Structure 1
Amino acid sequence: MPTKMHSCSDSPVKTYQFRICYEDTDAGGIVYHAKYLGIAERARTESIRQLGGSVAELYRTHGLILVVRKMEIQYRQPLFLDDVVNVKTCLISVLKASCWLSQIFTKANERVTEIKLQLVCLKKRNYVPSPFPDNWKKIFAALSETQTS
């Protein structure tokens, strides 16, 4: 896994906006570190959905699931109750049965958290890696930083 955090440029990528709620914070009103994982999951799921994909359909139609294999998180600044956060999801690279994504959390256009993760596509029946379906190529192309439209 690359150790340098990815820069998720300003090229066209999908962005998910999220408001920090009371349940996301600890007793001090700061977002609890594990909550970032849930926010990132929602951002990935919604980005895929906006691009015509569905994790539920991937399972129903192809018998495939997506699992996080590796993840690296860099916390730069805390998030607080009622903050509005944008999460950009960008494709770093894709192979037949796995991909690397970058997710950049920003508040007021300032980077506060960075996540880099590897997703693996598995057959649900035996948890063996399986290639992504062909229709997912357009999803990855749309998440790619090299997209120009």
Structure 2
Amino acid sequence: MFSHPVRIYWEDTDAGGVVYHARYLAFLERARSEWMRAQGYGQELLRREHDLVFAVRAMQLDFLKPARLDDALEVDAALRECRRASLVFAQRIRRGDELLLTASVRIAALDAAGFRPRGMPAALQARLKALETPEAAPDRLPPTD
């Protein structure tokens, strides 16, 4: 299980100090990007060396509880499925033991030059396929240490 810390700042909130719903998308994106970097595949390296970028194709979000100004959150990511030209991540955002948001995110592999769908290089797909956790559902991700 991969977890990325996020602190809530004033810029993330509305006038009432509650996190604006669109900001959660940025938090989820950061966690997926850091997950890829932790696997040795930073996004700039993929673009430069493999002419490959990843883009969100679809998302399903369930907002359970609000985050607020100054909260320390953990944004979790687990690779649920790896296909030749797409990935599906199970993600969640937690404040301590409180579950605030769950998400299922489908990512498309695209050629960097034309943004057309394409398969991943075989070595990358094999490495990611080995990291799959097919049983991971966003609300049932295992606890982190």
Give the structure-1-normalised TM-score: 0.83
Please name the residue that 1:78 is paired with.
66
Q: 1:19-67 CA deviation, whole Å, 9 max, x = no partner?
A: 1111100000000000001111111111111121111111000111111
Is 1:132 matched with 2:120? yes
Deviation at 1:89, TM superposition (A): 0.2
Q: What's the C-alpha RMSD, in Å, of the aligned pairs? A: 1.5
Q: How many residues align?
A: 134
SS at match of 2:11: helix
* Counterpart check, 1:144 vs 2:133: yes
Q: What 5-or-longer segments of structure 1 have no aligned partner?
A: 1-12
1:142 partner SS: coil
Task: Give 1:39's aligned residue.
Answer: 27
- The residue that corresponds to 1:3 in the other structure is none
TM-score, normalization by structure 2: 0.86
Percent sequence identity over aligned pairs: 32
Distance 2:114 2:47 in 1: 13
Structure of higher RCO (CA pairs closer than 8 Å, 6+ residues apart): 1
Equivalent-residue separation in structure 2 for 1:42 and 1:30 (angstroms): 20
Counting only pairs closer than 5 Å after superposition, residues 1-149 of structure 1 correspond to structure 2 as 13-133=1-121, 134-142=123-131, 144=133
